[in-house]
């Protein structure tokens, strides 16, 4: 073998070894200290991008890469050790915790914001309020026409996020099943699954028969947000920062970031900044609900 070919092979081997490495080690203590990989919840992606942009202005030596794909995608990437932070719009499941433990680490959870799930309809729809039970029945396929709910004689078109979405899982458990862990109900087979929050907004805007749900931070004036009554006979409540903080609105949740065990100093500093008043003001400005900064 010539000396030139030998050197080429050595360089190629070093290149391949570098491509296979992750920005954080399997015990959660690694990382280059300058590059943070952040992936997961589509609900959180705009918020995560805004945080990353603001933080990089304060710390230009830090490069933060943010991608979506859904909560399931982010948690899978955490398992595969290809991200430092997994964004999640639902709490990590017992099954996922067990998988992490089998891989040698304990997922560490951070509550970074709060969100309300707004139930939305077309602006032409005369229906202004529904109960939790009515929404559950709609998505189970028990109501099929808006006239059954005080609306016009129109078929109901149900929209949902795809199954990889943490918002889909949360809505299934909290609304379709009404929080009953023994209930195994699923979405009606006629429910249309859409890949993004923006897609649901667009479809509801354009379809007078549609009903959908979205994180409050994605809702625009192009659609109508319904007031939701926790139970029949109770006052319908619109989602807002105030009604989430006082627990009046019945479809609200926490938003999370997860790490592989204890994070390194660079990631820890970023997480501490996310919980600062400055970063939580970004939460508010994007239509989400800040967390208490002294949690």
Cβ(37)–Cβ(65) under 8 Å? yes
Q: Buried b vs exposed e over 81-113: b needs ≥16 C-beta within 10 Å?
A: bebbbbbbbbbbeeebeebbeeeebebeebebb
Q: How far apart are CA 46 and CA 292, in angstroms?
A: 21
Residue 293 banded pLDDT, cuts 50, 70, 90: low
Q: How far apart are CA 64 and CA 44, in angstroms?
A: 15
Average the pLDDT over 186-199 and give the result.
Answer: 95
Q: Which two tokens stand for residue 81?
A: 């050790």
**pLDDT of residue 26 exceeding 80:** no
**pLDDT of residue 23 exceeding 60:** no
CATH assignment of 34-114+254-285, among 1.20.1260.10, 3.40.190.10, 3.40.50.1970, 3.40.50.970: 3.40.190.10
* 116-252 and 34-114+254-285 share a CATH fold: yes
pLDDT in tens, 78-104: 999 999 999 999 999 999 999 999 999
Cβ(151)–Cβ(125) under 8 Å? yes
Average the pLDDT over 213-228 and give the result.
Answer: 95
pLDDT for the residue 5: 39
Q: Buried b vs exposed e over 258-280: b needs ≥16 C-beta within 10 Å?
A: bbbbebbebbeebbeebbeeebb
Separation of CA 79 from chain center: 18
Q: What does the mean pLDDT of the chain come to?
A: 89
**pLDDT of residue 31 exceeding 70:** no
Domain boundaries, the chain: 34-114+254-285, 116-252
Q: How far apart are CA 107 and CA 259, in angstroms?
A: 6
Average the pLDDT over 225-246 and give the result.
Answer: 95
**pLDDT of residue 22 exceeding 90:** no
pLDDT for the residue 200: 96
The pTM is what? Answer: 0.80
CATH superfamily of domain region 116-252: Periplasmic binding protein-like II (3.40.190.10)
β-bridge partners, 117:
215
């Amino acid at each position: 073998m010539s000396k030139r070919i030998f050197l080429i092979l050595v360089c190629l081997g070093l290149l391949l070894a570098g491509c296979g490495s992750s920005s954080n080690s399997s015990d959660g203590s690694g990382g280059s200290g300058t590059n943070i990989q952040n992936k997961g919840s589509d609900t959180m992606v705009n918020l995560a991008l805004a945080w990353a942009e603001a933080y990089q202005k304060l710390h230009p030596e830090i490069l933060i890469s943010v991608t979506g794909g859904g909560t399931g995608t982010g948690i899978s990437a955490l398992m595969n050790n290809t991200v430092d932070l997994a964004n999640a719009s639902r709490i990590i499941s017992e099954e996922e915790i067990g998988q992490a433990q089998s891989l040698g680490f304990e997922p560490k959870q951070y509550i970074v914001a709060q969100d309300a799930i707004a139930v939305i309809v077309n602006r032409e729809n005369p229906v202004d309020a529904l109960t939790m039970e009515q929404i559950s029945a709609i998505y189970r396929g028990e109501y099929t026409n808006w006239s059954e709910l005080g609306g016009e004689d129109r078929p109901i078109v149900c929209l949902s996020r795809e199954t990889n979405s943490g918002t889909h899982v949360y809505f299934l458990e909290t609304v379709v099943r009404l929080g009953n862990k023994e209930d195994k109900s699923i979405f009606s087979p006629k429910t249309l699954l859409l890949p993004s929050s923006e897609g649901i907004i667009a479809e509801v805007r354009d379809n007078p028969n549609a009903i959908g749900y979205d994180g409050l931070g994605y809702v625009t004036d192009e659609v109508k947000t319904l007031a939701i009554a926790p139970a029949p006979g109770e006052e319908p409540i619109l989602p807002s920062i105030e009604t989430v903080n006082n627990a009046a609105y019945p479809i609200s949740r926490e938003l999370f970031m997860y790490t592989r065990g204890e994070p390194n100093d660079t990631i820890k500093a970023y997480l501490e900044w996310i919980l600062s008043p400055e970063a939580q003001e970004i939460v508010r400005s994007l239509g989400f609900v800040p967390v208490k900064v002294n949690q």
